[in-house]
A and B are shown apart, each in its own frame.
Chain A
Amino acid sequence: MIAIVDYGMGNLRSVYNAFRKVSPNLKVCVTSDQKIIQSADRIVFPGQGAMPDCMRELANKNLTETIINAAKNKPFLGICIGLQMLNDFSEEGGVSGLGIIPGQVRKFKTKNHFNKVPHMGWNEVYRKNNHFMWNGINNNERFYFVHSYFVQPKDQSISAAETIYEHPFCCAISKDNIFAVQFHPEKSSLAGLQLLKNFTRWSI
């Protein structure tokens, strides 16, 4: 069973729909229930909006520890703010993250009106490794992004992919049982669906 963690930030229906599409027979739960999250085989940790709000709502739902524990040993997919929250600290609101991955979250600084913020739309993802999650996906494939902040992992070797906007930035990380992406696979058409399908089959 896959648990999509619902802590009240944003709409998880498209993530749910996308998993239903790629694995119709797999049980998928959108849940804020600690027990279900603990017993799930795989965890999807999404996030929308502002990271300070996400951290607060996660705490309000008593899920902070549950997520830290779930990220220790089973296939764990972070999406968008779900990637950012794994880090130590974010410039957005100056808040601490979950501290699961050593790193910082920084804001894009536009010097001109050529590169708008948010970074919104389809951009190329350059792979840094041959992780199982990239199976069946072309290098340089475009995925759909919408974000104003990006992650800077302390250990560069966990970067699983980069994208260029103003400068190259890390758009995916892979470390042990954790894979997390800045883009939205659930909104990235066939390539996104392939990534989610890979997640349902990834064994650590």
Chain B
Amino acid sequence: MLAKRIIPCLDVTDGRVVKGVNFIDLIDAGDPVEIAKKYNDQGADELTFLDITASSDNRGLIIDIIERVAEQVFIPLTVGGGVREINDIRTLLNAGADKVSINTAAIHNPSLVSQASQKFGSQCIVVAIDAKKMNNHWEVFTHGGRNPTGINAVSWAKEMVNRGAGELLITSMDRDGTKSGFDNDLNSLISSEVDVPIIASGGVGNLDDLVNGILKGKADAVLAASIFHFGEFTIEEAKKHMRENFIEVR
């Protein structure tokens, strides 16, 4: 049976892994290559790197990191953050990324997703959706949850899949960094509306949150950062806990 995946996320800026609360107050969490190796050894199913570098000067650093990780870590690598055009995707894939995650650029230019999936194949195009709950629906936000777009998150998810997204990374802006669990209502709604796998993100505080992300949120994969970075839990512990809850894991 296909296993549910656990994906540690590494937020990278200026060549270091960092962790913040709601995208601010960043704390240094270590060297990306060392952390990637550690998670791989612990049995991570994939790794996601999110480049949150603000200045364009240091953008090249992520390329160097991906190249170095890809020489040593033989599991799928996804890279996102600051991807604006076809050439950015090509550069990241050539550096060793297996999938590239597109967020804000998809909103400014939805045809980028169509072009990218045509050119490189749907299997390597992930669309990241940052959503916030508004009364009775969810709205897509950009820039780390600061800018509302007026777009309904569920219809946006469907459009992105129609344009060729091979996977969706759904982050709840209400939950991110709060350790209060995924927004399982949002995730299960999107998961039931699209055929492609979805990754739940934002809000993991304990191992039950991962279990609920799968069982209640109907996610195909769960992504978390801080519970792994600061050594609260290892990937092995997370998998053991999921197994105890009858979830198929590797």
Contacts and interface: CB of A to CB of B under 8 A. Distances in A.
B76 interface: yes
B186 to A, nearest CB: 15
A11 interface: yes
Given A123-B3, A187-B76, A142 B250 contact: yes
Contact of B74 (A10, A11, A145, A193): A193
A124 B1 contact: yes
Interface in B63-81: 70-72, 74-76
Contacts of A20: 71
Interface string A118-129: 111111100000
A18 B70 CA distance: 9
A113 B191 contact: yes
Given A113-B192, A116-B197, A123 B1 contact: yes
A103 to B, nearest CB: 22
A173 B45 CA distance: 25
Contacts of B31: none
Contacts of A122: 2-3, 5, 45, 250
B96 A118 contact: no
Interface residues of A, number: 37
B74 A142 contact: no
A14 interface: yes
Nearest to B90: A11
A162 interface: no
A165 to B, nearest CB: 6
A186 B220 CA distance: 22
Nearest to B43: A189
Interface in A1-42: 10-11, 13-14, 17-18, 20-21
A146 B5 CA distance: 13
Contacts of A62: none
A13 B66 CA distance: 11
Contact of B96 (A10, A13, A110, A142): A13
A11 B96 contact: yes
Contact of A144 (B76, B96, B197): B76
Q: Looking at chain B's contact residues, is the secondary structure mostly helix, strand, loop, or mixed?
A: loop
A120 B121 contact: no
Interface string B107-134: 0000000000000111110000000000
B17 to A, nearest CB: 21
Interface residues of B, number: 36
B120 A49 contact: yes
Which of B45, B74, B250 has the largest number of chain A CB atoms within 10 A? B74
Interface in B1-16: 1-5
Nearest to A12: B94
B122 A118 contact: yes
Nearest to A188: B74
B123 A110 contact: no
B35 to A, nearest CB: 17
Nearest to B98: A187
Contacts of A119: 2
Contacts of B120: 10, 48-49
A142 B4 CA distance: 12
Contacts of B3: 121-123, 142
B2 A11 contact: no
A118 B168 CA distance: 12
Contacts of A14: 70, 74, 96, 98
Interface of B: 1-5, 40, 45, 70-72, 74-76, 93-98, 120-124, 166-167, 191-192, 194-197, 218, 220-221, 250
Closest 9 CB pairs of A and B: A49-B121, A122-B250, A122-B3, A146-B123, A11-B93, A123-B2, A116-B197, A142-B250, A120-B197
Given A13-B95, A121-B45, 8 more contacts: A10-B93, A10-B124, A49-B120, A49-B121, A116-B196, A117-B196, A122-B5, A142-B250
